[in-house]
Structure 1
Amino acid sequence: MERSPRVVRIDELIPADSPRLSGIDRAHVQRLATVYASLPPVLVHRPTMRVVDGMHRISAALLKGLETVEVTFFDGAEDQVFLRSVAANITNGLPLSVADRKTAAARILASHPTLSDRAVAAHVGLDAKTVAGVRTCSAAGSPLLNVRTGADGRIHPLDRTAERLHAAALLTQDPALSLRSVVEQTGLSLGTAHDVRRRLLRGEDPVPQSRQSAGAMLEAGPAKRPRPAGAPVVPGIRPGRTATSAVAGRPPVSPRSRAPMEALRKLSHDPSLRHSDQGRELMRWLHNRFLVDEAWRRRADVVPAHCVDSMAELAQHCSDAWRRFAEEMVRRRHTSAADVAEVRATQPTRR
């Protein structure tokens, strides 16, 4: 925008596409005419010579018999003219009514449907909830979009279902995976990744019910929701199914699996295991053999009928081996406890 004012003939200007439903307020024009010398320059879009802000000032100049006005130029794109006009009208001059602002919000949403509610609210001087209501009322028949452009100018996906499912799959496969690694692989924020982990530990679906409903509205068909490249399928959700359709089925992690997953996570973060080669090797071995309800149920459906007996025998063998391993751990726990008690009993009492 050109800062230094220039004098322009009034008949060279195109009237503003004003957000005011009632048009020019004659009483306000008369008030401006009495203080005309102190008024700021009119804002004009240079490429089109359309007035962006200042129609009341131009009317005051005409009332005083003037043929020229001082203007400063705005060089933005043509689709930004109305946005700038609304923003200018809510910061100075005659205030816009609530009806003016809501109508302006509806126009902005029609011309800039990807703008977020907060971004539109900043332009029209309404709160974001009011803008959201205007969007709902004016969006009938309009295509539903999955992105929003925030007030910061950055593009934010509206539906993060696919990314949440990807994160759930990663954390199910490796409960000790750091959240920062999940963020790097899925594009989620750290807070959202943390929310997915908390939901898994509670046995809940990684996608909140409200998000699932939004995802269902945004989706026109079962094959139109893309999964991130290389994203593994989440347990309990087949490729092509939506998060909403999966709600009726089993959750990604059952309540029975929460305690083992939490135990595995704590072991993976134990310094005595993490900071030794043998400890890290043990945890890799354990991760490769860790099995939750969702995993074996998913694989049980794949076993053909003629392999059921062999698979059952193999599973029983593994179960027996794990049972002996568990008995050994319990024996060591009792042995350690007995050793500690014996040491305490032999220590002299300090007086």
Structure 2
Amino acid sequence: MSAGAGPVVRIPIRALRVAGSPRTAGENLEHVRALADTPDELPPIIVHRGTMRVIDGVHRLRAARLRNHPDIAVRFFDGDEADAFVLAVRSNVAHGLPLSLAERKAAAKSIVTSHPHWSDRLIASVTGLSAKTIGEVRRSGGVPQPESRIGQDGRVRPINSLEKRRLAMNLMRQNPNLSLRQVAKAAGISPETARAVRARLQRGEDPTVRKPSNTKRTEERRPPQTRVAQPLQMPDRVTIMRYLRTDPTLRFSETGRTLLRLLDVHAMSNDRWALLVRNVPPHARGTIAQAAMECARVWRTVAEQLERTAGPR
């Protein structure tokens, strides 16, 4: 979760704002004086471009003022204000002058409210707290919870998986002819989970009862050589982009944001694409067709490279 690898620019100190810091106790004056006395150039601070608010580096900003510098080195962050606060917390947790425990808990409460779809472990990685503590903060906050959360790996997982398994079990009992993919789609689970539910039903077990964590679950998975391939139902472009925009590993890196901007162009509806095609001037259609084919070739190469390194899904 970084500000990206954008260029360093010099910004007048008077143009910057200090507000909304996770440091509820304020700045440490001794630390400011120590930084001001350092002979070396201080690292660039991080600033939210939309508001010119300092995300990380308030002490460095104060030190620059003590040095009577008119400007300071800055890297800009282009996310929204909620994401800017997350970045401020993450930066100051790993800082040479870290946030106090009380400040980290207060920050966790804010992030649980602004990012309820993030998992406890993901928020814990930002705040430097344990996932258990984040769970306690979440339960005490009274924030409405989504049906699924995003983990540290960027994957979306359902919160109440047992309820979804129960729904799948009822669907299978009511209509044994439903395919695993049909059950999975209706219950909001993966085809592999649907297969596990069916296997336990066939053995006379209750799929909604959790097994001990040390119990081997190999019986819920078919050996690779006997697994029957299921036809994939690919999500549409809008659904894919909605999912990708919630992935923190993309939103908080310069590469990720660049990819999202490029992909966002192609997420237009088919009707909008058809309208664009109809309005292309006749004399330019051949040239644009060639350019489109070249773009398609580049994207195919990118897709093939990603597929080769994606690993199992």
Which residue of structure 1 aligns with residue 159 of structure 2? 158
**What residue ranges of structure 1 are gaps of 5+ in the alignment?**
211-268, 270-351
Name 1:193's counterpart in structure 2. Answer: 194
Is residue 2:114 matched to residue 1:115?
no
Q: Does 1:125 align with 2:128?
A: yes
The alignment status of 1:101 with 2:126, answered yes or no, reads no
C-alpha RMSD of matched pairs (Å): 3.1
The 2-side partners of 1:91 and 1:64 are apart by 26
Aligned to 1:8: 11
Pick closer, same or farther for the CA change 1:175–1:39 going to 2, 3 Å. Answer: same
Q: 1:92 to 1:200 in 2, by over 3 A?
A: same
Partners of 1:134 and 1:36 lie apart in 2 by 42
Q: Which runs of 5+ in 2 are unaligned?
A: 212-225, 227-313
The alignment partner of 1:37 has SS state of coil
Instruction: Provide the rounded CA distance (Å) in 2 between the counterparts of 1:36 and 1:201.
Output: 73
Displacement of 1:116 after TM fit? 1.6
Measure, in 2, the Cα distance between the counterparts of 1:191 and 1:38: 55
**Pair 1:145-2:151 in alignment:** no
Q: Is the contact made by 2:116 and 2:145 (CA closer than 8 Å) also made in structure 1?
A: no
Note the C-alpha offset of 1:46: 1.1
C-alpha contact 2:163 2:208 (8 A) present in aligned 1: no
Shift of 1:190: 5.5
Q: For 1:258-277, what aligned pairs fall within 5 Å after superposition?
A: none
**How do 1:27-176 and structure 2 match up within 5 A?**
27-35=30-38, 37-139=40-142, 142-161=143-162, 163-169=164-170, 171-172=172-173
C-alpha separation in 2, matches of 1:184 and 1:105: 34
How far did 1:40 drift? Answer: 0.8
Equivalent position SS for 1:80: helix
* Pairing 1:231-246 to 2, within 5 Å after superposition: none
Partner Cα separation in structure 2 for residue 38 and residue 20 of structure 1: 24
Quick check: 1:36–1:61 contact (8 Å CA) kept in 2? Answer: no
Query: Following TM superposition, by how much is the alpha carbon of 1:10 offset from its aligned partner in structure 2, in angstroms?
Result: 1.1
Residue 23 of structure 2: aligned partner: 20
CA contact (8 A) 1:149 1:156 kept: yes
Q: Give the TM-score normalised by structure 1.
A: 0.52
Q: How many percent identity over aligned positions?
A: 44
The answer on whether the counterparts of 1:105 and 1:134 sit within 8 Å (CA) in structure 2 is yes
TM-score calculated relative to the size of structure 2 = 0.57
Q: Say which SS state the counterpart of residue 89 (structure 2) adopts.
A: helix
Q: Which has the larger radius of gyration?
A: 1
| Deviation digits for residues 285-324 of structure 1 (CA, Å, limit 9, x no counterpart) | xxxxxxxxxxxxxxxxxxxxxxxxxxxxxxxxxxxxxxxx
Secondary structure of 2:168's aligned partner: helix
Alpha-carbon distance in structure 2 between the residues aligned to 1:52 and 1:46: 10
Q: Which has the higher contact order (CA 8 A, sep 6+)?
A: 2
- Offset of residue 161 of structure 1: 4.7
Structure 2: distance between partners of 1:113 and 1:180: 29
Runs of 4+ in 1 over 6 A off after TM superposition: 173-181
CA distance in 2, matches of 1:51, 1:12: 10
Deviation at 1:169, TM superposition (A): 3.7
